[in-house]
Chains A and B, each alone.
Chain A
């Protein structure tokens, strides 16, 4: 006889709590890894001649140079923003571009062929994330 919903068997068998715990811990681990390595995806990317040369987490304040083999430029990360603070380029537009913290804005150094941008993230509370172009 099919008892259906009126079955008197327990809702969970003895393995189910373990499976649920395992799934929850896996989800939590994944969440922590994402938080740690990406600050939920907020990294700056530095390109030289169109090639990605550095990925810089914005959650940690830092001061660095592009390094050997690349233009002589220094960038600083502070409070989740990145900016160029020195450059051997001729026009210094990259320095005057100020900081960036989100994907709608980029820092471009034309003479040095360097572009700094932030990985794109949709932030519903940010009025600027739907910008199509900046001029």
Chain B
């Protein structure tokens, strides 16, 4: 009788264990993983934290308000310590990498309206007028018609800002903060594995270009395959050549920049570099791919319009294959 009772107890416990496993399988969410999301910085922001619940949205919503205030009135940018810091860091990147990216091109982007309800191809006179409103780095002062556009750096800067918060938070163990085209991979994953970032395939949304495996890092991707409009059979994308005032013509379709945590201002660097390399095309790719003394702060994965993939030496990249 005693053996039967023990047997029954074993069966009940085993069933409960298996049922628990099954339910965990169904929900798929580990009890030690926390997920939060929201619309900020003109994108869909998500945060997954492991072991302890970690909030990034105080920081992100604060930044979002600051950027919005600057877009509505550029004078607000000059009275915001945060935006002055962002402007100063962008100017420092301009000094090192050139003037291809400029945060005072808002008049030009507004003129084309590519991310608005009414995108259009402006007249050449309008374009020239918008180009005149752009101020050269270091953005010491703005012109009367200058309009700000932090699109090339805001998400990367936000990653830096969130990192500074996490580093002060003893509860923050491992956090994946995604800001659309930029992400912060913070800490160490509980399973000890590297972070796995999938890069969208510009030619086919059903498959990826490949996967980047890293330790803690910032990662940003730029491409013209999602935000664009078509008029008279011509595709106009949202990244502009500030020499012509027209959407950039590049033979790259996607550029991803990876910056290890520890590199100063690595978030804004990853965002800035991904866009810059994309704009400069295959011809200039070599100097960014090579990890020489000048360019050793970041790694690149780039795809050209023919599907050729280029990867910096030292970066763990796995190209997508049909068998997954």
Residues of A within 8 A of B (CB): 5, 11, 27, 34, 38, 40-41, 50, 90-91, 93, 96-99, 103-104, 106, 108, 110, 113, 115, 119-122, 126-128, 130-135
The 6 A-B residue pairs with the shortest CB-CB distance in the complex, in nearest-first order: A98-B205, A120-B28, A127-B324, A41-B26, A135-B221, A108-B44
B324: contacting residue among A106, A121, A128, A133, CB under 8 A: A128
B226 pairs with A96, CB closer than 8 A: yes
A122: contacting residue among B25, B178, B220, CB under 8 A: B25
B219 CB, min distance to chain A CBs, angstroms: 6
| Central interface residue in A91, A113, A119, by most chain B CB within 10 Å | A91
A11 to B4, CA, bound (A): 8
B42 pairs with A110, CB closer than 8 A: yes
Question: Across the interface, which residues of B come within 8 angstroms of A11, CB to CB?
Answer: 4
Count A/B pairs, Cβ under 8 Å.
98
Q: List 21 A-B contacts (CB under 8 A).
A: A41-B27, A41-B28, A90-B117, A90-B119, A98-B206, A103-B28, A110-B39, A120-B29, A122-B25, A127-B324, A128-B198, A131-B197, A132-B185, A132-B196, A132-B197, A133-B176, A133-B185, A133-B198, A133-B219, A134-B198, A135-B199
A133 to B196, CA, bound (A): 7
A40 to B226, CA, bound (A): 33
A99 pairs with B44, CB closer than 8 A: no
B interface, how many residues as a size bin? 35 or more
A131 pairs with B198, CB closer than 8 A: yes
A65 to B189, CA, bound (A): 39
Given A103-B28, A134-B197, A135-B220, A113 and B39 touching (CB < 8 A)? yes
Question: Across the interface, which residues of B come within 8 angstroms of A128, CB to CB?
Answer: 198, 208, 324
A82 CB, min distance to chain B CBs, angstroms: 13
Query: Is B253's beta carbon under 8 Å from chain A?
Result: no
Question: Across the interface, which residues of B come within 8 angstroms of A127, CB to CB?
Answer: 324
B287 CB, min distance to chain A CBs, angstroms: 23
A98 to B201, CA, bound (A): 11
A132: contacting residue among B37, B195, B226, CB under 8 A: B195
Question: Across the interface, which residues of A come within 8 angstroms of B26, CB to CB?
Answer: 34, 38, 40-41, 121
A133: contacting residue among B43, B44, B178, CB under 8 A: B178
A115: contacting residue among B37, B189, B221, B225, CB under 8 A: B37
A133 pairs with B183, CB closer than 8 A: yes
